[in-house]
């Protein structure tokens, strides 16, 4: 993987911010306004979806499209697909934070959805965000997407969000707190579903909308798998070492909940090494794509250094 | 509306049962097996989705397709779309029954999902059923559906399930328990979303998959709107007068929860009259469709007499 001339880190950060801004605009577009009745649930949906998350997942959708088809491949349809992924991610955070689940009171630097809007509304707001994601994808042909491609993209997201992905990982995660001790292999298999599946869906959705071939899809899928692994390890590390203000949630909550984490299993030093190795695997997976993948490579490397 | 020769009630009941059996088979097909890991959530999903509901909504999907295109229009794709609607209906029941929502312990004659599997799993099982519904619809072209039609069908379901439909009705329903007194007009506007939107989606999905034109879609939509109205009034009536064993849930739970119902507002006698009027409006809406709509007409009339 070589730099492509404009590869100074500052340029990529600006590119990331530009894509994130596009995702944010698309989110504003697809979310019902806070005055549209029933207003309270739209408020609740917007509260969490526009809470200033990193928008990493939507950026991955757009960066994958850009990698396959160049800057002009980041079409309104791609931006809306990217917003749909963020809606799914946000719904999963709202439901995960519920008292019956992880019982977290803070998220993204603000009180969790159910703390502000009550449990019933938080459940419904999550349901509504998930539903809206598929409404957005079903409407993609109005934004120029081919219907067959739009369906393939919806299927990618549904599978990644279902019991073979996000929800399956969450189920195992719940079991892991209550059940038999986990080893590293089992923990990473949970991560592959809980975090990895959605990362894979992101790059595959963006790539498909940009007309990717099988080879490109494969390289991007391998990238997202390894990137997701690194991302989750760094997440675990930050829960031990992070700064509460930067993280936007309490530090040490995994440990308090008896949650098994990678640093908890293998120590901080080895966890850091595993994250770095996974990041390098992610970057190496991009080799077949050449310089077009420079943004994706930068993204993986920069996330290794993230503080939140 | 005239009978079409084979219109004896027994024939239509047999037809209903045949369609319901087809829906049940499709549900079995699309739901992951109880042994597929993570097994516990698949068990929880199956527990509620295969609990012996009336399968009225899937039958509506198939009956609408049959009305538009004849018996051969009830294709595997239509049956799967019908199953997808039942998945959405089931998810909404599971989440509605949660302690933070309506806090109902019984459903369809058995303990509610969260009573058996715990709250966390019930939340996730609901999420997973909703997600699976869209995965099923995204896969319809593999069962012969045109991709553009499959997308239109997914959009119908997403809209009906979202904050302008099912979820919106539930939000207003929650507000109504806590908030200002409701009048009949406002209560029926809640019903139009909470029950009516999904009924409308059912007939529109089936009709679209069978290649319906705008006129057919309009007639069926009017039918479903009025039918949904009648259905919800009968539901309210059964909560007052029903037999607990037949209903599969406690009688009088609406009143105990302070929920405003149609008989509560206007008395039993007028509620019965309103239901009968709505049913006749539903049947009259079918006039433009002629004898092909006889099953749908029978369905509306027979539901007026339902005991559960």
Dist CA A98 CA A229 (whole Å)? 25
Q: What is the pLDDT of residue A239?
A: 85
Confidence of residue A259 (pLDDT cuts 50, 70, 90): confident
Q: Which residues of A223-246 are buried (b: 16+ CB within 10 A; e: fewer)?
A: bbbbbbbbbbbbbbbbbbebeeee
Q: What is the pLDDT of residue A251?
A: 72
pLDDT of A200 above 80: yes
DSSP B57: H
Q: What is the pLDDT of residue A258?
A: 74
pLDDT of A244 above 90: no
Q: Does A176 touch chain B (CB under 8 A)?
A: no
CA–CA min distance B45, chain A (Å)? 10
- Minimum-distance CB partner of A123 among B123, B140, B148: B123
CB B295 within 8 A of CB B7: no
Segments of chain B scoring below 70 in pLDDT? 1-9, 177-180, 245, 247, 308
- Minimum-distance CB partner of B151 among A141, A163, A170: A141
Comparison of pLDDT for A253 and A140, the residue scoring more: A140
pLDDT of A179 above 70: no
- Write phi, then psi, for A138 (nearest 5 degrees): -65, -25
DSSP B293: G
Comparison of pLDDT for A308 and B150, the residue scoring more: B150
* Cis ω before B262 (30° cut-off from 0): no
Contact A171 B38 (CB under 8 A): yes
Q: Which residue of B has its CA nearest to A99?
A: B120
Q: What is the value of ipTM here, to two decimals?
A: 0.95
Q: Which of residues 98-117 of A touch B (CB under 8 A)?
A: 98, 100-101
Give, for B111, the enclosing helix (H) or strand (E).
Answer: strand B110-111
User: Where do the domains of chain A lie, and which CATH numbers do they carry?
Assistant: 9-304 (1.10.600.10)
pLDDT of A4 above 60: no
User: Mean per-residue pLDDT for A297-307?
Assistant: 90
User: Mean pLDDT lowest for which of A230-234, A303-307, B159-163?
Assistant: A303-307
R_g of chain A, CA atoms, integer Å: 18
| DSSP E strands, A45-164 | 106-107, 110-111
Mean pLDDT computed over every residue of chain A? 92
List, for residues A282-293, the tens digit of each pLDDT value: 999 999 999 999
**Residue-level length of chain A:** 308
R_g of chain B, CA atoms, integer Å: 18
Q: What is the pLDDT of residue B1?
A: 40
Q: Which of residues 204-233 of B touch A (CB under 8 A)?
A: none
Q: Which of A117, A127, A153 to mutate to test the interface with B (most CBs of B within 10 A)?
A: A127
The set of residues, in sequence order, having a beta carbon less than 8 Å from that of A91 and lying 6+ positions away, is A125, A126, A127, A129, A130, A133, B127
List, for residues A97-111, the tens digit of each pLDDT value: 999 999 999 988 899
Give, for B192, the enclosing helix (H) or strand (E).
Answer: none
Set of chain B residues whose Cβ sits within 8 Å of the Cβ of A128: 162-163, 167
List, for residues A52-61, the tens digit of each pLDDT value: 888 999 999 9
The set of residues, in sequence order, having a beta carbon less than 8 Å from that of B230 and lying 6+ positions away, is B275, B276, B278, B279, B282, B300, B303, B304
Q: What is the pLDDT of residue B199?
A: 97
Dist CA B88 CA A130 (whole Å)? 12
Q: Say how far residue B50 (Cα) sits from the centre of its chain.
A: 14
């Amino acid at each position: 993987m070589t730099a492509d001339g404009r590869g100074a880190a500052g340029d990529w950060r600006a590119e990331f911010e530009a894509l994130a801004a596009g995702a944010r605009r698309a989110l504003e577009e697809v979310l019902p306004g806070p005055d549209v009745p029933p207003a309270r649930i739209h408020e609740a949906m917007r509260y969490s979806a526009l809470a200033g998350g990193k928008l990493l997942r939507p950026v991955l959708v757009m960066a994958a499209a850009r990698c396959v088809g160049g800057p002009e491949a980041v079409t309104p349809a791609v931006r809306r697909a990217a917003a749909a992924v963020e809606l799914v991610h946000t719904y999963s955070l709202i439901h995960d934070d519920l008292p019956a689940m992880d019982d977290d009171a803070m998220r993204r630097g603000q009180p969790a959805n159910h703390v502000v809007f009550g449990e019933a509304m938080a459940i419904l707001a999550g349901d509504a965000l998930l539903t809206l994601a598929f409404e957005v994808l079903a409407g993609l042909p109005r934004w120029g997407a081919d219907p067959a491609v739009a369906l393939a993209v919806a299927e990618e997201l549904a599978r990644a969000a279902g019991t073979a992905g996000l929800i399956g990982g969450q189920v195992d995660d719940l079991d892991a707190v209550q059940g038999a001790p986990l080893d590293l292999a089992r923990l990473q298999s949970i991560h592959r579903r809980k975090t990895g599946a959605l990362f894979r869906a992101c790059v595959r959705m963006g790539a498909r909308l940009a007309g990717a071939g099988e080879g490109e899809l494969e390289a991007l899928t391998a990238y997202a798998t390894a990137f997701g692994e690194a991302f989750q390890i760094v997440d675990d590390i930050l829960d031990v070492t992070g700064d509460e203000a930067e993280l936007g949630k309490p530090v040490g909550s995994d440990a308090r909940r008896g949650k098994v984490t990678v640093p908890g299993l293998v120590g901080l030093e080895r966890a850091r090494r595993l994250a770095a190795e996974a990041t390098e695997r992610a970057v190496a997976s991009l080799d077949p794509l050449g310089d077009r993948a420079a943004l994706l490579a930068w993204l993986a490397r920069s996330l290794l250094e993230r503080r939140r």
